[in-house]
Structure 1
Amino acid sequence: MPGTVHAIVVVRPDGRTSAAYHLRRTVASLAGGSRRPDAVTLAVCGTDPAVEDALEPGSLPDPTADGRGVRVIRLGRRTRFAAAVASAAFEPGPRGGTGMDADLLWLLAQDTAPEPEALARLAGQLELSPTLAFVAPKLVRHDRPERIVSLGVSMTRTGASVELAAGDLDQGQRDGITDVLGSDIRAVLVRGSVFRALRGIDPALRDADEGLDLAVAARLMGGRVALAPTTRVGVSGDGVAGLPFAETGSRRRMIIARRRAAQLHRRLTSAHPLLLVPIWLSLPFLALGRTIAQLVMKDPGRIAGEWAATILAMVRLAAIARGRRRLRRHRSVPWSRIASLRVSTALARERAAEPTEHDPDALPRGELHFFGGGGAWLVLAMAAVSLAAFPALLAWPALGGGALQPLRDTVAGLWADAAYGLRPTGWNVSGPADPFSAVVAVIGSLWPFAPSRALVLLWLAALPLAALGGWFAATRITDRPVLRITAGVAWALAPTFLVALTQGIPTGVIVHLLLPWLVFAGAVAHRSWVPAAAASLLAAAVIAAAPSLAPAFALVLLAGIIAAAVRRSGAGVARMLWVAVPTIVIFLPVAWAQLHAANPWGLLADPGAPIDALAQTADAGTRLWVSLGFPASSGAGWAELFSALPLWVPAALLVPIALLAASAAATPRWPVGLAHLALVVLGVATAVAATAIAARFDGANALTLWPGAGLTLAWWGMVGGAILTLDQLGRAEMARFRRHAGAVSASAAVVCIVTLVVLAAPALTAWARGATALTNGPTSTLPAYVEADSGGDTATGTIVLTAEADGSLAARVVWGGSETLGAHSTVLETRTAVDDASAQLAATAAALVSSTSPDAVAALAEQGIAFVLLAPGADAPAADVLRRESATALDQRDDLDPVGATERGDLWRVTSDIAARPSAENPAGGIAIEILQIAVIVIALLLAAPTGRSRARARQHPRIVGLTPAERAMDAGRARRLEDGAQEAQALPSEPTGEEAT
């Protein structure tokens, strides 16, 4: 005998105008069915005018079999599906009785529209099989009925739910499958006795995996669950029953978090009693491991949901206890009965993977052609030029001259200089290290056996590495090999770069080598987390080497964030915001120290060893040279090679590339052209401003900022703009004359290369002419006696006294066997006020050279300082007099033992007992900042590591940025022609073999 059916329809308006429409459609589907339910209850959660109009008498057709009409119950707006169904099923109706009086319960929502035969088929299947607990139909999208929403749900051994057919095209390929572990909760027809025994749906699941949980509980009671694949129910994904469609990124993240919370709840409710506490305690560590995995998989949007689900699962102890009682009360079969219906982790991972189908509107990405397009030959050619320009570097163990200094002897020493604590220079002063010290540590770690040698190798590889970076950065602008080679040559032969190489300015070299890769990654940072994370690390390294670029970097990043917001890409905005995070975090300690010292200008100071040339006063002539693209009045070696050289001679060699760059804004890709011209303006403004800002001190000399960093940024704006103009000129030629290569644009590129080679000739021949500042650098800036005595340990201190040209005496303290490139601290060297440590150092230095009191030497011994070095002073009469008087005073001290004259100056050793260097505790805040810095860098590295999925996504986007619709159509047509040609070539018959020919 057929059983009675009670249909429960849950309605939650949520302010959506479609709720009333969907409700009318669902009720009309019930009324038009071949079999109508015997009772219908509408559980309305919240109020909405449109829904209220639909509930007016006569507005809805009667969906019941006996014409009794629908029953409406009112619930709160936040009532979830499980609670709404329980209220409709268990609360008495106006005629007495409850939903439990019915034999079958049909669980529906406002957006579920069954086909006319749906109820008849579902009820018939239950009536024919008494062991069935409930039966579930095939859910399809109402707007796209050919697409399956759900047809069976299973889970892994760890409780992760797996949709077996969600998103598949419905071709009847799964209609033969009926026995599955569970199903979606929407439109299931469940026996009233089963629903009554289980007391409904577990409310702790929060709309996620409710059908799976109900099916598992029913199976443990001894019942079965079946599918009705030929019964279709259309759903619209409103999210009233089950989870909504993942049509937006935020909704997708919400769905993932809900399912994860449901999985953890299932694990805790079904765990063995002896394993419950260990599993509960392991949840935070499991969340940490999954966080790392999500970073590796380039999906950081899941991290917040992962931790929210973990915390929720851990604190809902009452819900866990209720769920365990529910299973324990009714379970009559072992868990092994459902083991065969679970799925493997590999299948779960395959089903959970996002589809990587190719977007038909996307432009296929072509091959890079690094070897075939001349990129490899360009790098080899620049390597040969580097060997010819700096031949002696092959035999040098370290570099000296300019702002170059040796590195620590060990990798541990390199990273110790990059950590918070006692500074390697100064009167036992603690503080944060410059971020540049970490950059130096990374470079030195590449050659751990002799870190100073790494700097020599960097200098030798600088020209080919610069050409490589310029070539790759140009791939964001053009796909023509000759133009990419032009960009590589132009970047390698930049005047600022050659000045930094020949004058020994490591910060300038590092910025020039990293900037093109920052352009390469930053141009597409809005597309994916891989380039965004790579750009964040590169930006941190660039700003660490050249803090003066921070304002320009902030403006460029702000423009990128605005562009992503205009495209209404929330993920793009998040990725662009992340680009700044590592830079902010690594500069946080230095920024705090400078702001606490009321010296914000100190944040712009150049790190590393001081650049002596910057102590000169910047006059109008120097600023003119800088505005023309030369970081000094030497004109990249032209003024040294030709005396009384007119300014316009080297500047004229920049005219071709400057004209091409200025024309970039007039091309069809004018937004890209304007962006490059903006870089030119920002770079030149930064460089000119740098000549007027003195933020650092070297003894009595105030040092202005290095203008080369801004000129490096401006140079890429010129190079990128010129390449863009040449690319557009070549496209116009190909479109008009139907030629595969533009002769005019190629000729213009050759002219640019020739003029740049001529411009670079004086700098590239500086070594042969003896005009370079590079020297066979010593392994130590202190006497060899000090180096041998310290053994590389920074516990030994040396006070260095230097006579200045104005007759003053400069004093500094060096710890260890040498000053090193990463040991300098801009926090100490940009101080504008005398602190206690500086006053004590000055007083001790003055006492050493002006009296015979033993208190001065005793103060040195108490601080752990074992040596006094009187370095060669300035070449001035007042300095010579002061140096002789100081040497005489030091010789007269009984507590100083003269070691003798060395190439670094006169050395004395303290004869009294040397105390250990006072230790400085790292405050809790400093430790927390270091942990935060390490965590951010690790996160960025994990995000930057490419995976197979990230590469597949990247191939769906063109490598070139900012293509116009016409260019996209042209490139797409060319790609199709090449593909068709390749297919035709494969279809051609091959030459017959000897046997076939006979």
Structure 2
Amino acid sequence: MTAVLVARRGGATLEQTLLGLAEQSRPPDRLLIVDATDDEAATRALADARPTMFVSAAHGASFGDDIARAVEALPDPETTSSPYGGVEEWLWLLRHDTAPDPRALERLLGAVEVAPSVAVAGPKQMDAAAPTVIIEFGETLTRTGASAALAERELDQGQHDRTSDVLAIGEAGMLVRRSVFTAVGGFDPALPSVDAALDLCVRIRLAGHRVVGVPLARVFVAEGTAEFARAHVPRRIVHRWRRAAQLHRRLVYAPAVAVPLHWLSLVPLAVLRSFGHLLAKQPTRVAGEIAAAVVVAFSGARVPAARRRLARARVAGITGDALAPLRMPPAEVRRRRAIARDARIGRAEDVAPPRPDFLPGGALVVALLAGVSAVAFSPLLGAASLLGGATAPLAPDPAALWAGMLATADAPADPFAFVLALLGVLTPWQPSLALGVLWVAAMPLAGLGAWWLAAGLVRRRGPAAAAALLWGVAPALLVPLIAGRPAAVIALIALPWLLAAAHRAPRSWSATAAAGLLTVIVGGSAPSLVPALLVAWLAWMAINPRRAGRLLTLIVPLGAVAAPLVVAQLWRGSPLALLADPGIVAAPGEPAPTGLLLGWPDLALAIGPLQSILPQDAPPLLVAIVLGALLAPLPLLALLGLALPRGGRAVLPLAIGALGLVSAVLASGVSLTTLDGRAVPLDVAPALGLYWLGLLVGVAVALDGLRRAGAVPGLIATIAGVAAVAPLLAAPLTGLAEVRAAEVRTLPAIVAASAADDPRQATLVLTPAGDGLGARLELGAGRTLAESRTVRTTGPAAEDAREVAELAANLAAASGRDAAPALAELDVRFVLLAPALAPVGEDGAAVPTAPLADPAAVSAALDATDALVPVGDTDAGRLWRVTATDDDRSRPPGIPATAPAVLLGQLGILALTLLLAIPTGRRPRRARPDEGSIDDPATTFAEGDDD
């Protein structure tokens, strides 16, 4: 009997193993030590054990290689007689982390002495840190070839003491007959990390021998098989090893005719399983799945060598009676999976914070916001499209939405194009209809998101409902709704959902993926908010360092869709242009310092209604004071929350709110685009929305800490906040809102009818503005949101832009030049003179305009142009048709050949993220505040009982 000890590392575990060997009631006849420690102290400790033989090995060699080296160093077996017909020499395989029980070897030998057909016996492997817990006792295979432990991480209560024959046992403490070990070829070198003992036992069983477990023999294991191969190995690496071992064994055990089919299915099956891992919320296994398939598929001669090793001593088939009864049945596999799933759900329930019920408070608030929105925006109900401000038809058809995501020769697509495509597919028969639906549903959707965000931090229903109501009527949301700024509206609707998902991201892969998709929506709709989101993202990773790798993936979807735009802007040398507002260029209301502090993107919308209520000639300062008084309870409550018990919950929301305020202040002084010759500042509404949202969540935390005492302050703050924004809700009904219902076109009907035959035809739109004349080309039926590009609006004047300006100047003033060639070159079919209001001075008197800005003079000049035929007045202005025709007219920039491939890659990343975000399992049941907690006294007796 030879004990073979393989040592990889020294320390206390090696000392315990050597001590256990020295205390054996039946000591081994020989002790062979394989030193692979590369540590002088460990080598001295091994030498002090006085081994019979001492072999040095490379530190990185596998356990199987070390055992093979030890067997080669042993002297040839002695020739003896045996009833079994072979040499009675046994090898006891130990590792440096395997401390045997004093009677372990005695009981192992006792089991094999009475059973000559047994070639392998294994002890019960116990946890060295918890000696009453079974780490492993016996291994088997499922019907699909996956390895499984018969007993794993179980409290030892004698439940497995009747176990005898098993398919395989672990390598730690294995007792194996030397002649059989040599006959089957030893351990497979292609399995250096896991499943090597399983494969060895399978081959020994196929050679006609038995493998048994000896429950009374125990060894105490400090490391698992994978940890022995590599210290501190991550779980994803262990999964890759196990999957590679399973695929290798599949090719080795399969019949010869089936090997090519198995080989061809390796990579496709890995791809399919990767989708399954995403659905199971295990994305860290995807790379290992693919890598395992590729490594096994191109492993060279390893599979043929293993097949020859298997055939060397095999006397039974893989599917025969030697293995089939010992495999794990499918019912047991399903039972174990159900137990594991319930355990995961139980662990999630233990860490999930209590959440208040959505009913009735949250549902009532959402219903109230829906009713108010339906009344306030009733003029927009059923609108085919919206116009005014930065709104425009979304796209004429779904194909245009697809084209909006494709890069053109002169400009890559904005991330906002993907957001618009997502919005448009909600009503594919008429994409622009979705924008009108969104306008009416904005308030309840925003309120629902705010409730979901606040409910993750508070335990009571009232505070969450108050935050939802105040966010649904937040000035940062209502002002873009009235001013017609769809990008800001979409960003503010998605913002609370993003923060709620990011809050859960460290605990859930599904939430991480959802936060990544929502980052695309928020960052694509409001690029000026991306720096603030990046700061919050880095801070969140610093707060959760153990989940930093998971949170790092949150930025991947936005990076994928924004990469072409980032490259284009950096190549052009204008990185700051990445922050430009997407969509149609329209000047937002001018932000005032007081308005920024109060969370109002455009304070003028509040001053007008309040001045009509206050005494006549009330100064704007008084109006701001009144508005500030109405909103003052909110910051006061939020700051009070910091001093209350569990007030630390308010620190993060208030920090995010402060980040939003700083972003708004910085954005208010930046202009990246121009309109009619004037600089257009960035829209501060998204940043102020972040500021307002953080403040409201802080208020909810404060009210939750005050408990019943917060009912009156919360009611006062809510009523005052709603009263401050009430005049904004009347703007759509009184006609003061810029946004309005319109047809799915921005040009006259005759132009839209002509565009049905040629959607790429151009219309020159002239707009008198101040002392100048604005000129732009609109294609087809007019401008759409899907075709907008920030590269065009933020870049220097291109050659065609100068041509448009020159053409407009020649048409607006009699110059004697023939305009027909220029019209043909730009493919202009119509010229539209849009209406413009004459500018007025401070006293209300009209200000004289320059000749180019006088609509009458421009109209007369157009009438005198030979290349134009007057059509007449339309709903969009006065129209002229171009008489000249030319088949060689130029066309807009085409689509690069690589654009579809880039788009497919971007959509692929978004699809994989969506697959990961979809919840597929049962959600853990969250505790509710009214259910009590483990610290509450038990209600053993009902109230009124005598005893």
TM-score (norm 2): 0.90
The partner residue of 1:10 within 2, 6, 11 is 6
- The Cα offsets for residues 133-157 of structure 1, whole Å up to 9 and x where unpaired, read as 3122221112222211112211234
Q: 1:626 aligns with which of 576, 596, 607?
A: 596
Aligned to 1:317: 300
- For 1:748, which of 713, 721, 725 is the aligned residue? 713
Does the alignment pair 1:719 with 2:681? Answer: no
Q: Distance in 2 between matches of 1:446 and 1:845?
A: 39
Report the equivalent of 2:392: 405
Partner of 1:939: 912
Name which of structure 1's ranges 791-800 and 395-404 shifts more when overlaid on structure 2.
791-800
Aligned to 1:16: none
- 1:836 paired to 2:799: yes
Q: Aligned equivalents of 1:637 and 1:164: distance in 2?
A: 75
Change (3 A) 1:635 1:841: closer
Distance between the aligned counterparts of 1:291 and 1:787, measured in 2? 48
- Separation in 1 of the partners of 2:243 and 2:826? 58
The worse-fitting range, judged by mean Cα deviation, of 522-531 and 393-402 is 393-402
Match of 1:234, SS state, is strand
- Do the aligned partners of residues 199 and 900 (structure 1) sit closer, same or farther apart at CA in structure 2, a change above 3 Å counting? same
Aligned equivalent of 1:665: 642
Match for 1:695: what amino acid? L
User: Which of 566, 571, 574 is the equivalent residue of 1:596?
Assistant: 571
Equivalent position to 2:317, from 334, 343, 355? 334
1:50 aligns with 2:15: no
Aligned length: 918
| CA displacement at 1:788 relative to structure 2 | 1.6
Mind listing any 5+ residue stretches in structure 1 that lack a counterpart? 14-18, 63-68, 422-428, 731-741, 960-970, 990-998
Query: Which residue matches 2:24?
Result: 33
Matched residue type, 1:816: G
The superposition leaves residues 4-45 of structure 1 with CA deviations (integer Å, 9 ceiling, x where unpaired) of x221110112xxxxx243333223323322322222200111
2:191 is the counterpart of 1:209:
no
| Amino acid in the other structure paired with 2:504 | V
The CA deviation at 1:874 is 5.9
Percent identical across equivalent pairs?
Answer: 36
Of 489-498 and 274-283, more deviation after overlay is shown by: 274-283
1:161 aligned residue: 147
Q: Where does residue 384 of structure 1 map in the other structure?
A: 371
SS in 1 for 2:505: coil
Give the Å deviation of 1:613. Answer: 4.0
Q: Matches of 2:192 and 2:74 in 1, distance apart?
A: 25
Confirm or deny: 8 A CA contact 1:498 1:636 kept in the other structure: no
Contact kept in structure 2, 1:664 and 1:724, CA below 8 Å: yes
Retained in 1: the 8 A contact 2:448–2:468?
yes
> Which letter does structure 2 place at the counterpart of 1:576?
L
Listed as ranges, the matches of 1:950-989 within 5 Å are 951-952=923-924, 955=925, 974-976=932-934, 980-981=938-939
Q: How far is 1:728 from its partner?
A: 1.9
Q: In 2, Cα distance between the equivalents of 1:714 and 1:357?
A: 35
Partner of 1:147: 133
**Which secondary structure does the structure 2 equivalent of 1:185 belong to?**
coil
Alignment partner for residue 811 of structure 1, among 761, 775, 791?
775
Q: CA offsets per residue over residues 595-627 of structure 1, 9 Å max, x none?
A: 22222221111112223345x6x6xxx233223
The letter of the residue matching 2:586 is I
Q: CA deviation at 1:334?
A: 1.9
Matched position secondary structure for 2:201: helix
Q: Which moved more, 1:163-172 or 1:199-208?
A: 163-172
Find 1:394's aligned residue among 359, 381, 384: 381
Q: Is the 8 A contact 1:184 1:242 kept in 2?
A: no
Q: CA deviation at 1:280?
A: 2.1
The DSSP-based 3-state class of the residue aligned with 1:771 is coil
Residue 900 (1) aligns with residue 872 (2): yes
- TM-aligned CA distance change 1:916 to 1:278, over 3 Å: farther
Q: Partners of 2:3 and 2:820 in 1: how far apart?
A: 96
Change (3 A) 1:675 1:334: closer
Contact kept? 2:226, 2:238, Cα under 8 Å = no
Question: What SS does structure 2 have at the residue aligned with 1:612?
Answer: coil
3-state SS, counterpart of residue 392 of structure 1: helix
Separation in structure 1 between the aligned mates of residue 107 and residue 121 of structure 2, nearest angstrom = 10
Instruction: Call closer, same or farther: CA 1:978–1:777 in 2, change over 3 Å.
Output: farther
Aligned partner (choices 428, 431, 437) of residue 411 of structure 2: 431
**CA distance, structure 1, for counterparts of residue 88 and residue 193 of structure 2:** 24
Separation of aligned partners in 2, 1:362 and 1:264: 37
Structure 2 counterpart SS, 1:201:
coil
Tell whether the 8 Å contact from 2:661 to 2:691 is kept in structure 1 after alignment. Answer: yes
Q: 1:106 aligns with which of 92, 101, 107?
A: 92
2:788 to 801, 809, 824: 824
Q: Does the Cα contact within 8 Å between 1:146 and 1:170 map onto a contact in 2?
A: yes
Q: How does 1:513-662 map to 2 (within 5 A)?
A: 513-565=493-545, 569=546, 572-614=547-589, 622-636=592-606, 638-639=608-609, 642=612, 644=618, 645=620, 646=622, 647-662=624-639
1:431 is paired with a residue of what secondary structure? coil
Residue 835 of structure 2 is aligned to residue 872 of structure 1: yes
Rate the CA distance shift 1:240–1:901 in 2: closer, same or farther, 3 A. Answer: closer
Looking at structure 1, the residues matched to 357 and 565 of structure 2 have their Cα atoms a distance apart, in angstroms, of 43
Displacement of 1:673 after TM fit?
A: 2.7
Compute the displacement of 1:293 (Å): 1.2
Question: Secondary structure of the equivalent of 1:901?
Answer: strand
Which secondary structure state, in structure 2, belongs to the residue aligned with residue 631 of structure 1?
A: coil
Q: Is the 8 A contact 1:256 1:302 kept in 2?
A: yes
Q: Is the 8 A contact 2:647 2:702 kept in 1?
A: no
Q: 1:633 to 1:367 in 2, by over 3 A?
A: closer
Instruction: Return closer, same or farther for 1:948/1:218 CA change in 2, 3 Å cut-off.
Output: same
The equivalent of 1:23 in structure 2 is 14
Deviation at 1:719, TM superposition (A): 0.9
Q: Which moved more, 1:315-324 or 1:153-162?
A: 153-162
Tell me whether 1:440 sits opposite 2:426 in the alignment: no
The answer to whether the Cα contact below 8 Å between 2:383 and 2:436 also exists between their aligned partners in 1 is yes
Q: Cα distance, 1:526 vs. partner?
A: 1.5
Report the CA distance shift for 1:821/1:490 in structure 2 as closer, same or farther (over 3 A): same
- The aligned counterpart of 2:357 is 369
Aligned-partner Cα distance in 1 for 2:179–2:125: 25
CA contact (8 A) 2:355 2:456 kept: no
The separation in 1 between residues aligned to 2:943 and 2:211, in whole angstroms, is 52
Q: Distance in 2 between matches of 1:922 and 1:273?
A: 51
Distance 1:780 1:792, change over 3 A: farther
1:75 aligns with 2:57: yes
SS at match of 1:154: strand
Residue 127 in structure 1 maps to residue 109 in structure 2 = no
1:992 is aligned to: none
| Contact map agreement 2:762 2:779 (CA 8 A) in 1 | yes
Distance verdict in 2 for CA 1:148–1:456, change over 3 Å: same
Alignment of 1:694-773 (within 5 A): 694-730=671-707, 742=708, 744-773=709-738
Gaps of 5+ in 2: 80-85, 840-848
Question: Could you tell me how far apart the structure 2 residues matched to 1:916 and 1:348 are?
Answer: 70
Residue deviations 1:632-658, cap 9 Å, x none? 131536457526442211121111112
2:664 matched residue in structure 1:
687
Which letter maps to 1:12?
R
Q: How far 1:188 sits from its partner (Å)?
A: 1.6
AA at the equivalent of 1:975 = S
Is the contact made by 1:7 and 1:107 (CA closer than 8 Å) also made in structure 2? yes
In 1, Cα distance between the equivalents of 2:944 and 2:752? Answer: 74
Alignment partner, residue 416 of structure 1: 403
Equivalence map 1:60-99=2 (5 Å): 60=49, 69-92=51-74
Match of 2:176 among 175, 178, 190: 190
Letter matched to residue 234 of structure 1: F
Q: Distance in 2 between matches of 1:301 and 1:757?
A: 47
SS in 2 for 1:190: strand
Q: Which amino acid aligns with 1:907?
A: W
RMSD: 3.2
